[in-house]
C-alpha cells in the first residue's frame, strides 16, 4: 500500500499505558520535520472522541487497565488500535510482573503490532499505514 492512497486525514490518539517513554519519544520523532507525518494528514489529537486510531505504548499497568478499556470504548467506530513497542505487544521485560495487567491485547483488541525497543519512526509510520488499510476495509464493509 502506498501513502498516496490516503483518502482522508487520519487522527491518532496517543495512549501511554506504562511506557518508559522510549516509544513516546519516537512518536514525537515521527512528527518532526525529518519524517513529518502531518504532511500525510496523520496528526495527534487530544481526545479519543476525535480519533480514528489509538496508538498505545507500553505494557498495561494495573491502575491503567480500566482506563484503557474506557478510552477504547469512548473512541468512535470504526477504529484501529496500534500496539507500539515490545512492551505493548508482549509485556517485554515486565512480563508477569506483579504490577502489570498484561500486554495490550489482553485488555483491548489490537489490530496492528509494531515491535521494537524502542520502535523506529519508519516502523510507526508503516504501522499507521496498515491501520489505514484496516479502517478503509471496515468502512467499505459498512457501506456494502
Partner 1 sequence: MRLLTGEGFWSPLIWLALAAGVALLAWALRSRGRQDYKRGTEQETPFLSGEPMPEGVHVGGQHMYWGFVEALRPVIDGLRAFHTGMVSDYVTWLVVMLAVVFLVVMLS
109 binds partner 1 per the rule CB under 8 A? no
Supply 19's cell numbers. Answer: 511506557
Helix axes 121-143, 22-31, angle to 10 degrees: 80
Q: Which stretch binds partner 1 (CB under 8 A): 54-62, 63-71, 106-114, 120-128?
A: 63-71
Q: Which stretch binds partner 1 (CB under 8 A): 34-42, 68-76, 84-92, 114-122?
A: 68-76
Q: Which is nearer to partner 1, 52 or 86 (CB)?
A: 52
Task: Evaluate the CA torsion angle 94, 95, 99, 100 in order and state its sign.
Answer: positive
Q: Which stretch binds partner 1 (CB under 8 A): 34-42, 74-82, 107-115, 124-132?
A: 74-82
Among 2, 33, 39, 77, binds partner 1 (CB under 8 A): 77
Residue pair 140/11 in contact (Cβ under 8 Å)? The answer is: no
Amino acid at each position: 500500500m502506498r501513502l498516496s492512497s490516503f483518502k482522508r486525514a487520519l487522527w491518532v490518539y496517543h495512549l501511554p499505558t506504562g511506557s518508559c517513554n522510549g516509544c513516546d519519544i519516537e512518536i514525537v520523532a515521527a512528527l518532526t520535520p525529518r519524517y513529518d507525518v502531518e504532511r500525510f494528514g496523520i496528526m495527534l489529537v487530544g481526545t479519543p472522541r476525535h480519533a480514528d486510531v489509538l496508538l498505545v505504548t507500553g505494557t498495561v499497568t494495573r491502575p491503567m487497565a480500566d482506563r484503557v478499556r474506557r478510552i477504547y470504548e469512548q473512541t468512535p467506530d470504526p477504529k484501529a488500535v496500534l500496539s507500539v513497542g515490545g512492551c505493548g505487544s508482549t509485556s517485554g521485560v515486565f512480563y508477569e510482573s506483579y504490577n502489570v495487567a498484561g500486554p495490550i491485547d489482553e485488555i483491548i483488541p489490537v489490530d496492528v503490532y509494531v515491535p521494537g525497543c524502542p520502535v523506529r519512526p519508519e516502523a510507526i509510520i508503516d504501522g499507521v499505514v496498515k491501520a489505514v488499510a484496516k479502517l478503509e476495509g471496515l468502512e467499505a464493509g459498512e457501506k456494502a
